[in-house]
Structure 1
């Protein structure tokens, strides 16, 4: 187990490496996961998330690849809560905590490194001041990133505020388990342990309805190829799913060609899945000089459902003064062809 450090253009990178050569790279700007390298069926390692070739591009383009999103992931309709006017950066709404500043593109402080015979990790911290983006309370957000020898990568986000405020963080990595940014995700296979999804209006705002997935393109309760389902959903997947509380993995994504698989367990109540449909930008150079294309990655964002402040059944994202709240997600990586 080791941690490899390097710096380029004022950005610090930390690569966590386990004893089986799996690695995770995190940069301090945005507490961003820039690469996760795992092996395929032939033992070849490749990066299974989308990431810019140049670290500065994360800051320039602000596209959330692998970034920590806080204080609040997703949309808050009308950008107002308990009389507080929040930053409007998605029409009249607040998106991903606002952009004055956008925490996903600000430098985080490395509090300490963790290293034992079985795991390596980082503890990063960001302090967002009372009134930033309109939110009440000075909040300390602590991010823990831990990789162990079994191939489990765990992300924990803890928020503590001196006033009642909102907290619903997530990580916004886009997965492509092929390890090849020339291959779309259409033939990769998704399974979600869920019965309900979050309906959206034409502007992408939750309606408050949680329809059953049965008989819809949102039914991923069994292993299902992603492409045919996305083809039935206008603008693709950008939807939240209510996760069942179960001892089994709540989300599973696999690629039969490479054999790579990741499963997810979280204490958050939902996962927001985005297929990056119609997401194309020829300015971007990702994963070795490739242009960003539609359906090149699938983001799996554990969180409470977006806009929870307006829908009681979505869960509570209010945290009380001086009472820390932690969201934790474990991503277990493996290969289906390993014996």
Structure 2
């Protein structure tokens, strides 16, 4: 494991970058600001390494406004309607930072906090911890979170989440990496072939808040149960893809296959496994060319896509959704694996 200084926050806190490498030439870089994955480099079908996530080469990029590149989103990832929920008879009011709603933990969510790092060199892993104080962004309870990133020689990036609280609180953690497996070899990510192992999705209103209905994807542009490119039907979806899918293989404790993505030109393939009940598929609709990242790449609309494993949006206000409430004495545990490979002639 390699550690280097990545910069300092405006308050003067030193931020470090940690590099994990496996024996197959995969490199992952993580900083202790926002527990952000800044870089994932993987080989293509010709063995050429390339950058497959969106991000910046310096801390300033992450300190400025950006759409959660690579960050851990929390205390509650995704949206909470009108920034309000009721728990044990008490109404809580959260920060409003997305139209009329609360998004990804608020104005200063986990993505903008400095995390404490423990290097687990023998396991090729990094532990990051953060304690969110009672009342932070409006949430109840002191919540202690542990996120462990580990890189295996099976080309798997494993993300394990744990949390405990001293007061009942909602929690929904995800990693918000934007992927582009073409690694700069394409104009956008619309040519990626996607499979999502989901028969239903959470339909949303005009503010992207679930109505509570879980319609079938079959026969619609939402259906990725067989391979489709991102771009093939995106014009049939108002605004593009930004939807939570209800995972078929979710077992709560056992990892289930959630998604598979193939980039035909480079042969790179990504499989996503998770214990979470949902996955937010987002097609980079709000990227607008105003941000320049790795190797000077301009992040235009649809340049990257997200596969955010999670609980469903607005779960604290949706009694029929899987619960996100963590109580004292319980331990929140979730795991997600991003597995990288290449398709070559012997596999086809």
TM-score where L is the length of structure 2: 0.92
Distance between the aligned counterparts of 2:260 and 2:19, measured in 1? 25
Task: Say which SS state the counterpart of residue 272 (structure 1) adopts.
Answer: strand
Q: Give the ranges of 4+ consecutive aligned residues of structure 1 lying more than 3 Å apart after TM superposition.
A: none
Aligned partner of 2:115 in structure 1 is 108
Aligned partner of 1:277 in structure 2 is 285
Do structure 1's residue 97 and structure 2's residue 105 form an aligned pair? yes
Aligned partner of 1:267 in structure 2 is 275
Distance between the aligned counterparts of 1:230 and 1:15, measured in 2? 36
Contact 2:79 2:101 in 1 (8 A): yes
Alignment of 1:317-336 (within 5 A): 317-336=324-343
Distance between the aligned counterparts of 1:174 and 1:234, measured in 2? 20
Distance between the aligned counterparts of 1:159 and 1:79, measured in 2? 22
Contact 2:4 2:17 in 1 (8 A): yes
Distance between the aligned counterparts of 2:286 and 2:63, measured in 1? 22
> 295, 302, 308: which one pairs with 1:295?
302
Contact 2:247 2:278 in 1 (8 A): yes
TM-superposition CA deviations, 1:6-50 (whole Å, max 9, x none): 113222100100111211100110000011110001100011011
Distance between the aligned counterparts of 2:99 and 2:288, measured in 1? 21
Alignment of 1:38-187 (within 5 A): 38-82=42-86, 83-99=91-107, 101-110=108-117, 112-116=118-122, 119-180=123-184, 182-187=186-191
Aligned partner of 1:202 in structure 2 is 206
Distance between the aligned counterparts of 1:177 and 1:334, measured in 2? 11
Distance between the aligned counterparts of 1:24 and 1:223, measured in 2? 27
Distance between the aligned counterparts of 1:145 and 1:95, measured in 2? 24
Task: Say which SS state the counterpart of residue 233 (structure 2) adopts.
Answer: helix
Alignment of 1:18-57 (within 5 A): 18-57=22-61
Q: CA deviation at 1:278?
A: 4.3
Contact 1:164 1:320 in 2 (8 A): yes
Q: Go from structure 1 to structure 2 and tell me whether the alpha carbon gap of 1:325 and 1:338 turns closer, same or farther (over 3 Å shift).
A: farther
Do structure 1's residue 251 and structure 2's residue 249 form an aligned pair? no
Q: Go from structure 1 to structure 2 and tell me whether the alpha carbon gap of 1:338 and 1:331 turns closer, same or farther (over 3 Å shift).
A: farther
Contact 2:184 2:297 in 1 (8 A): no
**Structure 2: runs of 5+ lacking an equivalent:** 9-14
Task: Say which SS state the counterpart of residue 183 (structure 2) adopts.
Answer: coil
Distance between the aligned counterparts of 1:214 and 1:157, measured in 2? 32
Q: How many residues end up aligned between the 2 structures?
A: 332
Distance between the aligned counterparts of 1:93 and 1:144, measured in 2? 29
**Structure 1: runs of 5+ lacking an equivalent:** none
Distance between the aligned counterparts of 1:317 and 1:124, measured in 2? 22
Distance between the aligned counterparts of 1:106 and 1:288, measured in 2? 26
Distance between the aligned counterparts of 1:204 and 1:86, measured in 2? 17
Distance between the aligned counterparts of 2:244 and 2:94, measured in 1? 23
